[in-house]
Structure 1
Amino acid sequence: MLAKLPGLIRIPLALLLLTINIVLHVVLLFAFTLLKLIVPIRAVRRVCSRVLVAIAESWIGVNNRLFDGFTRIRWQVDGLAGLRRDGNYLVLCNHQSWVDIPVLQKVFNRRIPFLRFFLKQQLIWVPLLGPAWWALDFPFMKRYSRETLLRHPELQGKDREATRLACEKFRHMPVSVMNFAEGTRFTQAKHDAQSSPYRYLLRPKAGGLAFVLDAMGDALHAILDVTIVYPQGPCTMMDLIAGHVHDIRVHVRELPIEAGLTGSYDEDAAFRGRVKLWLNALWREKDDQAARMHQATNPAPEGD
């Protein structure tokens, strides 16, 4: 019904309801975060942490219902059978668009532990959302340019140490750690600049994957290999809100964590080589999977 409204009404209404949803849930998040900070009793803090996750899952759930109401997306999702809410997962995904995040949240919300992303340090200043991510224990990473590291060599490894500290916190709670191994969103210009050997993907970077596995290895029980495809091509968050995204395809595959995937990425050259070989092989399989997903026949739109 809402998807049939004229765009001049539908888009502002969708933005208004999404904003109201953010404000209401963030206020609740801040209230329980304050309680968690000021009460030194460990049991109370554990309860607050569980409540914060429940609030976040409610926030995502309402977003999902709004997107379902305002859009007519044809979803093709497979590989969700057997997922556990009490498991600990490392989620590896290709990165096509900012739309990937609400897609992952829709697919996995309340099916696996709450997804946490590694975020750039600057995003903590995003109004409402930045403090909310901080309250939910999203790890913020401060990345240094090559030029900065040359001028200040003492900063070398600081971002990786932050990764390690964040992952240590995750060892004591059910968690799904999200990693976009490509490190940036796909564009044809980036693909060409990298001379990427893949048709639909950028070259993956193994460092972040290796550090998460090293810090959390025995606490994680599986890797979820996720491939997202938008058959119509690149899209933005505004395209999603405006109802311009009509087809989304998601493939999920659970993989074991092999013994050879844990070790010191900085100090062990042999281990570094193994991780890169493993990740490149996975990306070749993912590229083939993306090709099959692009070629798949569209299902009939709902309601047609």
Structure 2
Amino acid sequence: MLLYLPAPLRVPLAAVLFLLNTAFHGPLLIVAALLKLALPLPPLRRGFDRLLPAIAESWIGVNSAMTDLFTRTRFLVEGLESLRADGRYLVLANHRSWVDIPVLQKVFNRRIPLLRFFLKRQLIWVPVLGLCWWALDFPFMRRATKSQLAKRPELAGRDMAATRKACQKFRQVPASVMNFVEGTRFTPAKQAAQGGGYQHLLRPRAGGVAFVFGAMGDVLDGVLDVTLHYDRKQPSLADLFANRIRTVRVYVRELPVPEGFAGADYEADREFRKRFQAWLNELWEAKDARLFAWEQAAG
């Protein structure tokens, strides 16, 4: 551990090591992706489909090792026993902080297929990482604003088209489709703006998740309902590497794909829409109760 270093030195050092790790693995990913495009022979493409996630898992493994090196953060994790590295999962989680992403990657790395996140389109321009996410087939979403939709209603279907395209790819290889169902990070201000409903969560957004069930529910091995909790209200990555996060709790509940969800049309089938919203709200009520119990236990 490098905890003997003061935080003003430890946090920049962690950032530098992260950048060096990315500078090593990133070009490997990009070159492998370009070779996959240039050599479209099926046996070679299948080889690259295995190689690209393996490179990403190596990158994640180094990042996770740095977390252990720089911090004494305790990870209390439940529910990993029956997971398969060659399966296909839909992963649903609450979204508290940017720390959620390295935590989820650390917890699930090499236990399930590589997590593929739905990303905002603008993130493709992040240096090196944007190209890495593209190389790994992360879906990029445009997410038009209400004012944009009012002027151009045809934009409403772009994200669904991107989801459909991504799901067609994920049907062919083991994959874990990751969705932060609240659509944004939790803050008390956002919760107040929604008018309540949950004590520790924002309201879940159903459409994108339902579409994944419709597009690839028949090949999913299960749904992983993940609850994340930190002993700090709004932890940052700097908090993590400055050792200001004492405990991270992760509860994983594996669920079957509900009967009738695979192949269903959320937009056109009113009865399915009601069933799906009720199912998702039930998940969120149980998640909220768990978070409340953890808060009470922590005092």
Question: TM-score of the superposition, structure 2-length normalised?
Answer: 0.97
- Corresponding residue for residue 261 of structure 1: 261
Matches within 5 A, 1:156-235: 156-235=156-235
SS of the residue corresponding to residue 254 of structure 2 reads: strand
Kept after mapping to 2: 8 A contact 1:73/1:247: yes
Do the aligned partners of 2:10 and 2:241 also contact (CA within 8 Å) in 1?
no
Q: Report percent identity of matched pairs.
A: 56
Distance 1:111 1:129 in 2: 23
The alignment's C-alpha RMSD in Å is: 1.3
| Distance in structure 2 (CA, Å) of the matches to 1:36 and 1:232 | 43
Is 1:282–2:283 an aligned residue pair?
yes
Shift of 1:260: 3.2
Shift of 1:74: 1.4
Superimposed CA distance per residue, residues 258-291 of structure 1 (whole angstroms, 9 cap, x where no aligned partner): 1133411111111111111111111000111112
Deviation for aligned residue 1:154: 2.3
Shift, 1:297, TM fit: 5.5
Are 1:243 and 2:239 counterparts? no
Q: What pairs with 1:5-154 in structure 2 (closer than 5 Å)?
A: 5-154=5-154
Cα distance in 1 for partners of 2:130, 2:154 equals 28
Alignment partner, residue 292 of structure 1: 293
Check the 8 A contact 1:96/1:185 in 2, yes or no.
yes
**Rounded Cα–Cα distance in structure 2 between residues aligned with 1:70 and 1:202:** 32
8 A contact 2:231–2:245 mirrored in 1:
no
Give the whole-Å Cα distance in 1 for the aligned partners of 2:118 and 2:257.
20
1:231 corresponds to which letter in structure 2? D
Measure, in 1, the Cα distance between the counterparts of 2:127 and 2:270: 42
Q: Which amino acid aligns with 1:124?
A: I
C-alpha separation in 2, matches of 1:8 and 1:153: 49
Size of the aligned set, in residue pairs, is: 298
Give the letter for the 1:143 counterpart.
Answer: R
- For 2:296 and 2:56, locate their aligned partners in 1 and report how far apart those are by CA, in whole Å: 35
Contact 1:261 1:274 in 2 (8 A): no
Aligned to 1:302: none
**Structure 2 SS opposite 1:229:** strand
Under a length normalisation based on structure 1, what TM-score does the superposition of the two structures give? 0.95
User: Which runs of 5 or more residues in structure 2 are unaligned?
Assistant: none
Question: In 2 relative to 1, CA 61–147 (structure 1 residues): closer, same or farther, beyond 3 Å?
Answer: same
Out of 2-11 and 73-82, give the one that drifted further: 2-11
